[in-house]
Amino acid sequence: MTHFSQSVLEWYCKFGRKNLPWQKNKTDYTVWLSEIMLQQTQVSTVIPYYIRFIKTFPNLIKLANAEQDIVLHLWSGLGYYSRAINLHKTAKIIQKEYNGQFPKNIKAINALPGIGRSTAGAIISSVYNKTYPILDGNIKRILTRCFAIKGWPGEKKIENTLWKYAEKYTPQKNTDKYNQAMMDIGAMICTRAKPKCLLCPINQYCISYKKGNPLNYPSKKIKREKSVKKVYFTILQYKNLVWLEQRPTSGVWAGLFSFPEANNPKIESQLDSYKISYKDILQLTKLISFKHTFSHYQLYITPSLVKLSTLPIWKIEVHKGIWYDLLKPKKIGLATPIKYLLERLPCE
């Protein structure tokens, strides 16, 4: 084992995190679930979601047999909803094709929806203590700083280099502890801003520390202007009921419910397509516009509230959706801005 890895392991014994919710009563299921939630998401954000999720679905079979809407409901607000859809898919695959037993070899795990090389490595090292490297954002930050690796880590060439380093330093023994330690060091010591280099167990190996420039790493992505999109939501409300439609299983807010939307501000055309007659409108209010920023574009949302005096009935299958009861909300997936709007609607 390298001195580098030895230092990492010694640090873990003293300072590593060992009491996170998914580290108690650890099983393949809890590790898998937490690793999926932790993709692109920080620990403090995940904890309440994880606890609620595990309460509702204490094991894989419960999850496999669940309605997708319930799964998305529990994921609402966590973002990257394809993670939830893939999680559910994977549960069903394991139930059907693996007899309910989580596969134990890396290739089979890696082939499951939503599990890439790093997550597969994290699961198999954490649950079975097999020797496989991981490479998440934390570890990329540590490695680029320690070995002064220039270039944006998202670039294929740089990522391959980083995997080489990850392989080289992942020890044969105690891989589980080492991988957890590296994630902890990345989250607690080798932070993006104000890294605590003096407390770092591997500062003696760290080139950027010696040079005094750890903040130069990792190199930043060359950023391009975010495109701007506009959308107009039509909020149809009759008493406590609000009309919501389910979005397709791909694209933004996959599988979540949302208001009817249009690309032009003319509320009339939207009302026409829903065959709403003006005599049924009690009140039509343009609500305050706001901005929602995605990783790849900005969305300006202008909602209009249309209060109706009768419950419209449109031809079946022309508009597929649900009348969402504000007083008895159905458990469905809702994106954050939709949840925000629904919470602020006055109900009668």
Partner DNA sequence: GTCCTGAATC
Partner DNA sequence: GATTCAGGAC
Helix or strand or coil: residue 311?
coil
Shortest Å, Cβ 222 to DNA? 9
Do the Cβ atoms of 294 and 252 come closer than 8 Å? yes
Cα 187 to its chain centre, rounded Å, is: 17
Nearest to DNA of 28, 136 (CB atom): 136
DSSP letter at 334 equals: B
Asked if the peptide bond before residue 21 counts as cis, ω within 30 degrees of 0, the response is no
Tokens of 68: 């997708």
Shortest Å, Cβ 124 to DNA? 12
Alpha-carbon distances of 65 from 99, 176, 341, rounded to whole Å: 14, 31, 31
Nearest to DNA of 21, 312 (CB atom): 21
Do the Cβ atoms of 95 and 64 come closer than 8 Å? yes
Q: How far is Cα 267 from Cα 339, in angstroms, rounded to an integer?
A: 22
Q: Which of 10, 35, 317, 343 is catalytic?
A: 35
Helix or strand or coil: residue 86?
helix
Q: How far is Cα 182 from Cα 44, in angstroms, rounded to an integer?
A: 18
Residue corresponding to tokens 């420039």: 213
Asked if the peptide bond before residue 218 counts as cis, ω within 30 degrees of 0, the response is yes
Within 8 A by CB and 6+ apart from 217, the residues are: 141, 144, 145, 148, 149, 150, 208
Q: How far is Cα 27 from Cα 17, in angstroms, rounded to an integer?
A: 17
Q: How far is Cα 109 from Cα 116, in angstroms, rounded to an integer?
A: 9
Helix or strand or coil: residue 303?
strand
Nearest to DNA of 81, 232 (CB atom): 81
Do the Cβ atoms of 105 and 28 come closer than 8 Å? no
DSSP letter at 66 equals: S
261 is catalytic: no
Shortest Å, Cβ 82 to DNA? 5
Shortest Å, Cβ 229 to DNA? 10
Write down how long the chain is: 348
Under the rule (CB under 7 A), what is the footprint of DNA? 38-42, 44-45, 77-82, 86, 112-120, 136-138, 141, 154, 186-187, 191-194, 220, 223-224, 250-254, 292-296, 335-337
Residue 101: other Cβ atoms inside 10 A: 10
Please list the active-site residues: 35
